[in-house]
């Protein structure tokens, strides 16, 4: 393949995971995206394949029998230094994944993931590697581009700024250097790092766009050279605070689509004036620093989104999580009253079942039960609040607005009843004690508090209110296979649902009996 005069080769990817389902998903997804894909059953198998074939990327699970993903990647990297690593982590912690990136992994993806997410991660990793390769090519043409590696290797903005200041000090001989970054919240430039400036005054310096020399350069986006002191720069004489400056440059720091800030360098006493060649030098050095800053911010934003998605997907479907993240909503800091519909599903006769099943069997049954019911909640754009022993609490209408949360809750309940029947039949074939259990579901609707509850060490994004309790009480009252709902749900439901009036009931904790309705189907 030839593109823009450069020969492009199809990338060869090695996928290793002890779960066949994962390797098959990766092979199918990446092959459809145009990559050559080979698979290995584990770390030892991957190492053997890499000894006889060259791969551009290793996609590996972290936790595998024998060699783990990190050990496998490091062993292959000893022979193929330029191989790219993408980590799959499911049971490992986020800290483990981030630590792995410190050992050379380009990125990581958490189980479960979609084909689209995997292909995006792989594409991004190859693009980042290509960008790094392009930087290496440029360094062979311009010695100053060797600085890019130092900048890219920095782990924080502070490290990048300090490296930039030290580099400029060596290259220009300037006694005073300051880096000012635009603070969007305050609407002004603030000093982030400096040399030759008293540290105690740095926090107090705030320059708005258009003010002073730095503000004017930031606003116009063009560099400015000041040579010969105030008397030779009458336009800016009043703005030069230090009268012993003999040469100065104010240089804008710009990314592709936005202005970041301003770099200021100056010489005092005696020295060689600045020239256009100094501007070119600053352009190269600052370009590398800005690239490193943007790369760092990109990685931080990506890590933040991964953390947020990981948290959100405990409550909502991946589709809803994507919507919330793309809209910039922060569930972790909210708390509000909202009218929503609550669904509570409870297993009937569960306590006797515990006495007849082994803990391993019981755990496996509950895992499948929770998985199936969670998928149903997500299917109807509901939010999973929590699992409670043998019960599930979910709600509809938040954080994503639904036109009819009552209909969504009722549809979920009907599907849950159907799926639970099949689940029970499947497990009863192996253990007849399963025949004893049933599923009761309660649905209520009303104004409910929705948000974080807890301490700084442990919080829970949950719902609180009378209708939460009512839904739970209805689920407890419901017979096996029965769906009970309140009047507030019934009057909002569509005509496609079959609803029957039941006798009024005095629910536990309630002061008076209330109308109750059963939902038989659609």
- Whose tokens are 């508090």? That residue is 449
pLDDT in tens, 156-193: 888 888 888 888 888 888 889 999 999 988 999 999 99
Give me the helix-helix angle, 276-312 and 115-141, nearest 10°: 160
CATH topology of domain 142-299: Beta-Lactamase (3.30.450)
- Burial state string for 353-385 with b = 16 or more CB within 10 A and e = fewer than 16: beeebeeebeeebeeebeeebbebbbebbbbbb
3-state secondary structure of 417: helix
CATH superfamily of 326-521: Nucleotide cyclase, GGDEF domain (3.30.70.1230)
Which residues neighbour 271 within 8 Å (Cβ) at sequence distance 6 or greater? 173, 246, 247
**Which of residues 274 and 272 earns the better pLDDT score?**
274
* Lowest mean pLDDT across 18-32, 74-88, 90-104, 485-499: 90-104
Burial class for 196, CB neighbours closer than 10 Å (0-12, 13-18, 19+): middle
pLDDT in tens, 38-70: 999 899 999 999 988 889 999 999 888 888 888
Maximum mean pLDDT: which of 132-141, 293-302, 401-410: 401-410
Q: Determine the length of the chain.
A: 522
Give the ranges where 269-358 is alpha helix by DSSP (H): 276-312, 318-326, 350-356
User: With contact defined as beta carbons under 8 Å apart, do 399 and 331 qualify?
Assistant: yes
Backbone torsion region of residue 196, taken as left when φ is above 0, otherwise alpha when ψ lies between -120 and 50, otherwise beta:
left
Out of 3.30.1180.20, 3.30.420.140, 3.40.50.2300, 3.40.50.300, the CATH code matching 2-115 is 3.40.50.2300
Domain borders along the chain are 2-115, 142-299, 326-521
Rg of the Cα trace of the chain?
31
Which residues neighbour 373 within 8 Å (Cβ) at sequence distance 6 or greater? 345, 392, 416, 419, 420
Give me the helix-helix angle, 43-52 and 69-79, nearest 10°: 10
> Which uninterrupted H or E stretch holds 379?
helix 359-379
pLDDT in tens, 373-425: 999 998 998 988 888 878 999 999 987 789 999 999 999 999 999 999 999 99
**Which of residues 90 and 165 earns the better pLDDT score?**
165
């Amino acid at each position: 393949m030839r593109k823009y005069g450069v020969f492009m080769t199809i990338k060869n990817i090695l996928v290793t995971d002890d779960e066949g389902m994962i390797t098959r998903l990766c092979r199918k997804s990446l092959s459809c995206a145009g990559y050559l894909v080979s698979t290995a059953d584990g770390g030892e198998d991957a190492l053997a394949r890499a000894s006889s074939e060259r791969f551009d990327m290793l996609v590996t699970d972290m936790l595998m029998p024998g060699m783990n993903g990190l050990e496998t990647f490091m062993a292959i990297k000893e022979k193929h230094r330029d191989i790219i690593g993408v980590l799959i982590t499911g049971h490992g912690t986020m800290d483990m994944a981030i630590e792995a990136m410190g050992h050379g992994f380009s990125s990581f993806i958490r189980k479960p993931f979609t084909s689209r997410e995997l292909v995006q991660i792989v594409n991004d990793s190859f693009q980042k590697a290509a960008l790094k390769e392009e930087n290496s090519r440029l360094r062979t043409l311009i010695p100053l581009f060797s600085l890019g590696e130092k900048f890219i290797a920095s782990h924080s903005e502070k490290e990048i700024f300090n490296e930039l200041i030290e580099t400029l000090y060596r290259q220009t001989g300037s006694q005073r250097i300051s880096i000012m970054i635009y603070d969007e919240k305050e609407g002004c430039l603030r000093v982030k790092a400096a040399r030759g400036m008293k540290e105690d005054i740095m926090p107090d310096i705030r320059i708005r766009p258009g003010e002073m020399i730095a503000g004017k350069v930031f606003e116009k986006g063009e560099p400015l050279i000041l040579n010969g002191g105030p008397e030779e720069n009458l336009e800016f004489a009043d703005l030069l605070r230090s009268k012993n400056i003999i040469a100065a440059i104010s240089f804008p720091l710009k990314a592709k689509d936005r202005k970041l800030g301003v770099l200021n360098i100056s010489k005092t006493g005696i020295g060689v004036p600045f020239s256009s060649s100094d501007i070119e030098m600053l352009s190269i050095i600052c370009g590398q620093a800005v690239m490193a800053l943007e790369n760092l911010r990109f990685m931080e934003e990506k890590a933040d989104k991964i953390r947020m998605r990981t948290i959100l997907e405990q409550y909502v479907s991946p589709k809803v999580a994507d919507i919330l993240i793309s809209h910039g909503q922060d569930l972790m800091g909210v708390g509000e009253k909202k009218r929503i519909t609550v669904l509570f599903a409870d297993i009937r006769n569960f306590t006797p079942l515990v006495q007849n099943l082994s803990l391993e069997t019981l755990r496996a049954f509950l895992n499948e039960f929770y998985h199936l019911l969670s998928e149903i909640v997500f299917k109807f754009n509901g939010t999973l609040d929590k699992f409670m022993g043998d019960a599930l609490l979910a709600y509809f209408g938040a954080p994503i607005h639904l036109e009819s949360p009552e209909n969504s809750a009722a549809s979920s309940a009907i599907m849950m009843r159907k799926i639970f029947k099949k689940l029970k039949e499947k497990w009863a074939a192996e253990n007849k004690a399963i025949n004893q259990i049933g599923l009761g579901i309660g649905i209520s609707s009303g104004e409910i508090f929705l948000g974080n509850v807890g301490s700084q060490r442990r919080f829970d994004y949950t719902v609180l209110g009378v209708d939460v309790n009512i839904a739970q009480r209805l689920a407890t009252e419901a017979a096996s296979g029965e769906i009970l709902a309140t009047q507030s749900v019934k009057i909002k439901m569509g005509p496609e649902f079959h609803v029957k009036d039941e006798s009024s009931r005095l629910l536990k904790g309630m002061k008076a009996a209330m109308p109750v309705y059963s939902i038989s189907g659609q």
